[in-house]
């Protein structure tokens, strides 16, 4: 089973999100794909209640629970509405909301306690990539995010190099394969019931076929391309 995460970010308004989700709900997809839609917060609850045959993810959530926390999203708003997945540590959240590995670690624990499958995002910046320090960077992210004493259930890790997101630049298949192998090797001393590794970063209709040849990958985290019907149709019967 290949996981395909459609991260719609803030590209679509409410009506556009409803229109595209309706299209997805009426489309028959190949059984080998598990399609998961991550719409805007405004749209998420409505779409989940309306389209029961579509899987949804939260783009983010906050560490605070219910109470006097203006503008924050408690994770219970996801779990109580049968939203089973959530992105954690996306590069844009790290960049614009200053979310660090320590916060990602705490969110990961909260997601697992709430029975939400986390989609943990890891990846290096362009300077790190050019200096050939990607493995060291990822190692630090993993050490500060995961705990060897924790028994993890299902976890999805999305390797998304920051320099590839929205830039049109994509690592070679060989580079991605080696990164996936490194992540799996480094995590061998951690305990996972299920561990899936995805790739994210400028995935689109033009490179999907080439990237799909990477046998080590368990799927893709897709941004702007996922709001296009032409891309979504790549996965239909």
Tell me which residues are annotated as active site: 90, 160
8 A C-beta contact, residue 112 and residue 120: no
Cα 218 to chain centroid, rounded: 12
Closest CA to 186 of 120, 141, 128, 131: 141
How far CA 147 is from CA of 66, 136, 199, 237, in Å, comes to: 27, 18, 22, 40
How far CA 154 is from CA of 82, 101, 141, 194, 221, in Å, comes to: 16, 20, 19, 4, 17
Rg of the chain over Cα atoms, rounded to whole angstroms, equals 17
Specify burial of residue 160 (Cβ count, 10 A radius: 0-12, 13-18, 19+): buried
Give phi and psi for 215, each to the nearest 5.
-70, -20
What's the token pair of residue 205? 């209709």
Distance CA 87, CA 118 (A): 6
């Amino acid at each position: 089973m290949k996981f395909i995460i459609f991260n719609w970010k803030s590209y679509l308004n409410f009506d556009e999100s409803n229109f595209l989700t309706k299209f997805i709900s009426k489309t028959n997809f190949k059984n080998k794909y598990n399609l998961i839609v991550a719409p805007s917060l405004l749209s998420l609850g409505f779409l989940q209640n309306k389209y029961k045959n579509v899987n949804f993810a939260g783009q983010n959530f906050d560490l605070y629970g219910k109470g006097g926390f203006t503008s924050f999203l408690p994770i219970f708003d996801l779990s109580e509405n049968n939203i089973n997945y959530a992105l954690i540590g996306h590069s844009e959240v790290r960049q614009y909301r200053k979310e660090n590995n320590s916060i990602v670690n705490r969110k990961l624990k909260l997601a697992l306690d709430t029975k939400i499958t986390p989609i943990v995002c890891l990846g290096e910046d362009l300077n790190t990539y050019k200096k050939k320090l990607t493995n060291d960077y990822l190692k630090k992210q993993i050490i500060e995010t995961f705990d060897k004493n924790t028994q993890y259930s299902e976890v999805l890790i999305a390797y998304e190099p920051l320099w590839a997101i929205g830039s049109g630049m994509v690592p070679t298949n060989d580079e991605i394969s080696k990164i996936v192998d490194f992540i799996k090797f480094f995590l061998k001393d951690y305990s996972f019931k299920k561990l899936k590794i995805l790739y994210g970063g400028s995935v689109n209709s033009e490179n999907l076929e080439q990237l799909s040849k990477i046998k080590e990958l368990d799927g893709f985290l897709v941004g702007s391309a996922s709001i296009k019907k032409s891309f979504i149709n790549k996965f239909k019967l």
